[in-house]
Amino acid sequence: MSLMSLLAHRTASGQSVRVALIGAGKFGAMFLAQVPTTPGLKVTGVCDLSPERARETCRKVGWSAERIAQTTFSDSPWDLIDAPEVEVVIEATGDPMAGIAHARACFARKRHVVMVNVEADALCGPLLAREAAEAGVVYTLASGDQPALVAELVDWARSCGFEVVAAGKGTKYLRSYHASTPETVWTHYGIDPRRAAEAGMNPRMFNSFLDGTKSAIEMAALANACGLDAPEEGLGFPPCGVDDLPHVLRPVEDGGRLARRGMVEVVSSLERDGRPVHRDLRWGVFVVFAAPSAYAARCFTEYGMVTDSTGRYTAIYRPRHLIGLELNTAVLSAALRRESVGHPASWRADVGAIAKRDLAVGEILDGEGGFRVWGRLMPAKRALAGGVLPIGLANKARLIRPVVAGTPVRWSDVALDETCEAVTARREMESIFQP
């Protein structure tokens, strides 16, 4: 049955899908905007650092005074997780350490988890997915966010009998962006800093998208969910429009950019000299796949597919995504089908912290989107062998050794609280999931 048929059946029985939201930022606000138009979906509680700000967000997205009055607003995630009526918890804080703790608390209380917090998934997703399965609940990526949307395309291609050659997303990229900081980010976006401040735009968040960290985190989640490989030297961000996907993202031996088949990659909407790419995919997602036979390759041509010069490689893409406006799919899939829309099944890729400049002993790392490090995608096996510090643990970590610009920060370079739950969870994952 379709999700809406299942939801209608649930509603007809006098019940609703009961959801708690932790984190009422942009993604959470977009989800909240869809609740009034989704009969049978009930948000029982919203947790935010500022409950009043969360209430105001609900007003702004169109909630009635009655709906707001019937909803619990709190700054305590534990109260919402503990509430007996809660069925699904959406974790949308963006804080990997908080995300791990919240997810585990949900598992203990038999709550399904929709992990918008892709930072937590990149840090410990395979472990969390295993713990959810052991608890008999669903752990899922977030519909509307790019990793889940790409995973859907990958599943489609494989279900049709095609070999997935490459999968990923688009973004705006130049090599110089890796050094971007919250002080320079608005220049790269062409935004007046004063207007950005007035609009409440978070420079660290925007900088994470610009400096390559967010792309790495999202592609790590995708690789781990779909059994795809990460490039050895990190994402290449090749300039590429939608019509060139099957040409650029094919194996090197066939004239493309991939070291081998079955990899994640992100394409740039800018040429290396800053010129815009024709028919770019900045906001979209894609999958490149291969024809399994000469007959299938002929069908590609007969049905108007754009292929590479050999006719064997083609691509399907989605030009846009609606992030939180699409989140209902993951929520309803978890509650009504007890299925994820994508979750890590293995540990294939990791995101290591790379120094943006020379770093000195005593400096405190400031994590994703900050001044000191950015996140590079790498094979999990390589990260583990090199002792590379994951970007998710690079916030508030004190350096005990200097690190040269452009090189990885390693576990041995920092002083960490080894009793911290996120650190112990990561150590546990590394011991269980040998890549």
CATH 3.40.50.300 fits 349-432, yes or no: no
User: How would residue 188 be classed by pLDDT, with cut points 50, 70 and 90?
Assistant: confident
Tell me the three-class secondary structure of 325-372, residue by residue: HHCHHHHHHHHHHCCCCCCCCCCCEEEEEEECCCECCCCEEECCCCCC
- pLDDT (tens digit per residue) in 267-323: 999 999 999 999 999 999 999 999 999 999 999 999 999 999 999 999 999 999 999
pLDDT of residue 196: 78
Q: Which residue has the tokens 């007046």?
A: 192
pLDDT of residue 290: 98
Query: Is 191:140 a contact under the CB 8 Å cutoff?
Result: no
Residue 175: which residues within 8 A CB-CB, separation 6 or more? 272
CATH 3.40.50.1860 fits 3-145+324-337, yes or no: no
Type of residue at 433: F
Stated pTM of the model: 0.95
Answer yes or no: is pLDDT of 113 > 80: yes
Domain boundaries, the chain: 3-145+324-337, 147-173+212-320, 349-432
pLDDT of residue 409: 98
Mean pLDDT, the chain, as a whole number?
95
Cα–Cα distance measured from residue 301 to residue 290, given in angstroms and rounded to the nearest whole number: 13
Answer yes or no: is pLDDT of 72 > 80: yes
User: How would residue 8 be classed by pLDDT, with cut points 50, 70 and 90?
Assistant: very high
Cα–Cα distance measured from residue 145 to residue 142, given in angstroms and rounded to the nearest whole number: 6
pLDDT of residue 201: 76
- pLDDT (tens digit per residue) in 190-242: 888 888 777 677 888 889 999 999 999 999 999 999 999 999 999 999 999 99
- pLDDT (tens digit per residue) in 377-430: 999 999 999 999 999 999 999 999 999 999 999 999 999 999 999 999 999 999
